[in-house]
Structure 1
Amino acid sequence: MAKNQDIQFISSSIKLPSSASHHNPFDLSNQPFFSLTSNLNKTFESFNNFISSITNNHDKNQNFTPNNNESSFLSTSSLLDAAQLVKLNIKPLSFNFPFSNWFGKKEDQKEIHFQGLVCEGANSLPSNFFEDAIRFRYGKIIDTQSLNELRQSVNGWYKDNGLFGGVLYLEVLSNGIINIKVLESEVNNIDLRFFDRLTGEPTAGKTKPETIFRQLDTKKGDVYSLFKAQRDVKTVYDMGIMEDVSLIPKPGNAGKLDLTMNLVEGVNTGFHPDVGFAINGLSSGLIGSVEYFNKNLFGKNQKLNVSWKGSGKHDSNFGINYVDPCIDDMRTSRAIAVQKLRTPMIDRVLAGLEFSRRLRQKWRVASGLIYHRVGATGNDTRDDMLLAKVESEYSDSRGNSKILFRMEQGLPIVPGWLCFNRVNVDARKDVEVGPARLHLRLSGGHVVGNFSPHEAFAIGGTNSVRGYEEGAVGSGPSCLVASGEVLLPLFKGVKGTVFADYGSNLGSGSVVPGDGGAASGYGHGVGIVWDSPLGPLRLECALNDRGERKIHLGGGLRD
């Protein structure tokens, strides 16, 4: 038994008589519930009825006859074990019920002064909670108002912390000690149910149960937390393999809750051949692409993507990417990538291994090794490098703000391999302005050491300064790029954009052979973004500070 001055928390108990009516602390209509499921209101009503049934059954099982002129006071299970009760010779007081008539007629009232408090079942309450609640109550008369305030204080703590719990019974003993019985609803079982995305009928899911369970913070035996439940629903949805996720609590045995997570799996495999037209300087013309993806490999949420994209004989990109999002109990992810990239300027081969882990809800870190073999297209000379990478990313819970820090270090483990250090910082902020969204971005970087010209920062292009070809503004070991963009919904799935970009090599271009030295430029324009089934597609028309126009056509979000 834990003891804290005049406050006692105990687990063993004996039963004392109770009244025929009790306050139901689980009035779920007053709780700040999240919209986890469309059926949640029915669940809350069912849970209320369940709690009431516990109370009614408890009352029916009591063989107690109140005094002729009085009904018993709202008593519940005593918070003292049998030995303590005999030793202290404490008896429960009888009061008229309900609260408005507790003390009967004025001439019959008996003043009881507060001397202490005993609580049972409040395992989640912090130890100093009751100390703060009753600090100024010692010696004062116990009345309806003080008991109501105490009950509301306890219930308020559970409500504010999103926990299923509250005062089930109150009892005043003859020596001025208040007994409180708190009920905390623990999670009993967690079940998974899969539904067909087209028919809505129950079906056998392809995702293994352990893949889902390892994502949940809610565990069997925990006090049910609405805040945890909301996070669990979001975490499972963010796996990227579910179209719909809902979590439904239902009353179980002995005051516990059974949870059912309803899941609708999305389209997680596909094969996409494509033919299109690109407007991108030397790469202009017909393009072709083939892609195979599986977002739920082996039912373990592992991702596999194999793709090829080509345009002309000097522009092709072949890649294999594999991600296992959870390789241990700490939810560490592992990514393996192989790429063969050929552009009119660069011929590059890389293979990499990266491990990533989310240390906190908003903070992710990653580290890895990447091998590069790169050179100029049409030139037999190649540079080899092995890069050790560390990365740290902080983002807010809504994804409206993000800052990314990345550092790469070349490891010259073989004579002739490049040795340099490169640092990048990228900060982004989204601001809602009525129906529009303002997107701000500031990025910069610096590289020092023995690096080849193609490892310098290239400024200009779709992902830096629009209105220019890739790298047409200039390059250098240092760079700074800023952009602002307003996105306004036009109609369903389509947004209009107005943007402006600026980039500079901060006067460092003279370090790179063939570069003209200091270089900067800006561009502005308009465009549209279509949220297609394959991801966002962007079509933008930009005008740079040299009066040149450029059409940018791309997919996905800007890097």
Structure 2
Amino acid sequence: MAAFASSQTAVIKTITVKGNSEVSTEAILAAMRTKVGQPYLQATLDADKETLENMGFFQAVDVRAQAIDDTNREVIVQVSEWPVVKEIRVVGNNGIATDEILKAVGSEIVVGKVFNTRSIQPSVNNIRELYKKKGLFGDVSDFKPMLESPGTISITIIELTVNNVSVTGNTRTKLNVMKRLIKTRAGEPFREDRWGADLRRLYSTQWFENVRSVENQPEPGKIDLIADVKEGRTGNFGVGLQVDPRSSFAGTLRLSDSNFRGSGQSVGINFLQGTRGGGPSVDLDYGNPFIDNHNTALNVSLYSRLIYRFSGVGFGSGNSPTEDDLYTERRTGATLAFGRPLNDNVSASIGFRYEGIKTNDIKNDSTGFIQQDGTLATVTLGLTQNRRDVDIDPARGDWFRIEVEPGFSNITKSGGNDAVTRVTGQHNYLKTTAEYRFYYSPQKPRGRNEPDAPRRVFAFRARAGTISGTVPFSEQFFAGGAATVRGYEEDRYWGKTSLLTTLEYRHPLQKALSLIAFVDYGGAWGGYGSVEKFTQSNSLQMNLGYGLGVSFRSPLGPLRLDIGFNKDGKSRTHFQIATSF
């Protein structure tokens, strides 16, 4: 009974801390509940031991009491500190530079300070977040001082690495063409965004009905990627009737293949005969997306096109400038263009165009039209940034292009209004254009296996341009019609300066059918003068158009039918085999 009573009345006489060199004794004592003069309780010592271990500075902690006499106890705190950090070493990282990982660790682990295990989890979380932001998959398998060099903290990273990339289902498209389109390579860190972009790139060729990803992990840290495709029909032969904004109805004969013999090359012959007469339009087209190891693309076109620019009469007039009540402009020439990607999103291009322009015979002293016959040569330099999710039906991302086009014209014959006769002869000009497009969907982003999933989309476009020098009438900027400001006649406004904006809301009714509401606001000014009722302006003049339309994906491509209203409330129907943007 005496011994039991003595243990219950023992008090703490002294507390001695041993083994610490970097962590102060004061800091250790402050963390403990046991204090000098308090009753000795083993449960409190056990709690102090746990508290000191949780500080993270110590490899080992021992807290025990020993008797000084029957009523006094000495508490001895024995600690073994983690080493002072001299170096942080990162191994296993290939997708992210060591400096970026150390920056993510930040102030959690500091050289010159005692290593603290409490910093491990925040550091690991920061590293995981860094990999996520980079579109990579990475984790930390080890984070501790090295046995052979205690002052060196070793961080071992496990990255998900591409083990193999393959393609299945390509019964027609050649494997070397597929490899050109797929940028992900075996041995690289797996980048979810890069692999997703590869799949979208395949789908955007329109060679395949479906593209989906199959992924397997043969071992930890390794992933096999398979692009499983279903070939679509790329060849097209058609005879039909086409509605053209300028020539009303036209008979068409089209023979084309966008993936000729599975090579990725495109060939096309297009024959169009308008019902208004004037002769046929013929286009011969060839494209090769891979003419060298740098993925340089080549596009060539030979053509003789008939343009019903004035729709058979003078601009805004009921008087015909020709004997047969038909005014046409034939353009015969060729284009040659090269494009090359600079990185995953940016590409550069250069194009050349040469053509002869000839109008049909006109009445003497006729007005209400513009005639300029001669030749034209241009060089077009372009830079494009494309960050859209899918090129053919974007739901997210943006697109930007800037274009500079120096041109040379040699006008040998002019007629019509007296104001344009001064353009006869040789002239130089410079045309500069910039265009930006933005797409947003309130719905979730499309997954890797659903590039064509319907989405509600808000789409915006802004295009601005200016011309310096003496430019032929037909090379000005034009506004009005299906591709610019709907609700107005084709090419209703013209000039050397232009600004066009469009906002659309696209609501899918089915996978291939969408209802569209649009607002167009734009114009062109500062060019050739007014002709008949087609009045023009020398200063900023913007025009409002709005309406509804439908878009349908067909084997011929996207079809658009829009009903637009102008600023006076008058309506006009527009049809085109293309999307608005």
Question: Structure 1 counterpart of 2:341, which letter?
Answer: R
Partner of 1:404: 401
Between 433-442 and 228-237, the greater mean CA deviation after superposition: 433-442
Q: How does 1:416-455 map to 2 (within 5 A)?
A: 418-432=427-441, 436-455=456-475
The answer for the alignment partner of 1:25 in structure 2 is: none
Shift, 1:267, TM fit? 1.7
Between stretches 307-316 and 272-281, larger displacement belongs to 272-281
Verify the 8 A CA contact 2:235 2:258 in the aligned structure 1. Answer: no
Q: Deviations over 1:254-302 (max 9, x none)?
A: x663523233143242223242363746x234x3222222222343322
Residue in 1 that maps onto 2:141: 168
Residue aligning to 1:115: 84
Match of 1:224 in 2: 190
Q: What's the offset of the Cα at 1:552?
A: 1.6
Residue in structure 1 matched with residue 316 of structure 2 by the alignment: none
- Cα distance, 1:159 vs. partner? 4.7
Which among 551, 555, 565 is matched to residue 543 of structure 1?
565
1:385 aligns with 2:385: no
Contact 1:114–1:138 (CA under 8 A) maintained in structure 2: no
Unaligned runs of 5+ in 2: 1-55, 65-76, 309-327, 363-370, 390-395, 413-424, 444-454
Name the CA distance, whole Å, in 2 between partners of 1:161 and 1:474. 47
Counterpart check, 1:288 vs 2:255: no
Matches within 5 A, 1:380-529: 382-398=373-389, 400-411=397-408, 418-432=427-441, 436-471=456-491, 473-510=492-529, 516-518=535-537, 521-529=543-551
Compute the displacement of 1:457 (Å). Answer: 2.8
Give the letter aligned to residue 463 of structure 2. Answer: S
Any conservation in 1 of the 2:270–2:283 contact (CA below 8 Å)?
yes
Does the CA contact (< 8 Å) of 1:458 and 1:474 recur in 2?
yes
Instruction: Measure the CA separation in 2 of the matches of 1:135 and 1:536.
Output: 57
2:273 is aligned with what amino acid? G
> 2:199 aligned to 225, 233, 240, which one?
233
Aligned to 1:18: none
Greater displacement, 328-337 / 481-490: 481-490
- In structure 2, C-alpha distance between the alignment counterparts of 1:147 and 1:547, rounded to whole Å: 68
Question: What's 1:558 paired with?
Answer: 580
Please name the residue that 2:227 is paired with: 262
The one-letter code of the counterpart of 1:269 is T
Q: Cα offset for 1:139?
A: 4.9
Alignment of 1:231-380 (within 5 A): 231-242=197-208, 243-251=210-218, 257=222, 259-276=224-241, 278=243, 280=245, 283-285=247-249, 287-312=250-275, 313-314=277-278, 316-344=280-308, 345-378=328-361
Q: Could you tell me how far apart the structure 2 residues matched to 1:159 and 1:474 are?
A: 50
Report how far residue 362 of structure 1 moved.
3.4
Kindly tell me: are residues 514 and 150 of structure 1, through their superposed partners in 2, closer, same or farther at Cα, counting changes over 3 Å? closer
Q: Tell me, which stretches of 5 or more residues in structure 1 are unaligned?
A: 1-98, 196-203
* Distance in 1 between residues matched to 2:438 and 2:157, nearest whole Å: 44
Indicate if the aligned counterparts of 2:410 and 2:427 stay in contact, CA closer than 8 A: no
Relative to 1, partners in 2 of residues 1:539 and 1:147: Cα closer, same or farther, differing over 3 Å?
closer
Tell me the CA shift for residue 169 of structure 1. Answer: 4.1
Q: Distance in 2 between matches of 1:284 and 1:113?
A: 85
Q: C-alpha separation between the residues in 2 aligned to 1:187 and 1:431? A: 32
**Alignment partners' CA distance in 2, 1:280 and 1:397:** 29
1:468–1:544 Cα contact (<8 Å) kept: yes
Show the counterpart of 2:173: 207
Per-residue Cα deviation, 1:414-448 (whole angstroms, up to 9, x for no partner) = 99665322222333334446875443333333334
Query: 1:347: Cα distance to partner?
Result: 0.8
- Give the secondary-structure state (helix, strand or coil) at the position aligned to 2:178: helix
Normalised to the residue count of structure 2, the TM-score between the two structures is 0.65
User: Residue 377 of structure 1 aligns to which amino acid in structure 2?
Assistant: N
Equivalent residue letter for 2:215: I
Q: Report the structure number with the largest CA radius of gyration.
A: 2
Change (3 A) 1:247 1:336: farther
Paired residue total: 447
The alpha carbon displacement at 1:322 in A equals: 1.9
> CA separation in 2, counterparts of 1:414 and 1:387?
14
Contact 2:473 2:528 in 1 (8 A): no
Native 8 Å contact 1:236 1:245 kept in 2: no
Under a length normalisation based on structure 1, what TM-score does the superposition of the two structures give?
A: 0.68
CA contact (8 A) 2:244 2:576 kept: no
Q: CA deviation at 1:354?
A: 0.8
State how far apart, in whole Å, the 1-side matches of 2:546 and 2:116 are: 73
Deviation at 1:390, TM superposition (A): 1.0
Match of 1:212, SS? helix
Pair 120,466 (structure 1): closer, same or farther in 2 beyond 3 Å: closer
1:103 Cα deviation from its structure 2 partner: 5.4
Q: CA offsets, 1:235-266, max 9 Å, x none?
A: 333343232131524325xx663523233143
Structure 1 residue 387, shift from structure 2 partner: 0.7
Identity of aligned residues (%): 19
What residue number does 1:194 align with? 168
Is the partner of 2:268 in helix, strand or coil?
strand
Cα distance 1:301–1:155, how it changes in 2: closer, same or farther (>3 A)? same
What is the identity, as a one-letter code, of the residue corresponding to 2:259? N
Larger mean Cα displacement after TM superposition, 262-271 or 171-180: 171-180
Question: Shift of the alpha carbon at 1:155?
Answer: 4.9
- Counterpart of 1:214 in 2: which secondary structure? helix
Counterpart of 2:352, as a letter, is L
State the distance in 1 between where 2:253 and 2:469 align: 39
Partner residue in 1 for 2:16: none
Question: Would the aligned equivalents of 1:343 and 1:377 in 2 still touch at CA under 8 Å?
Answer: no
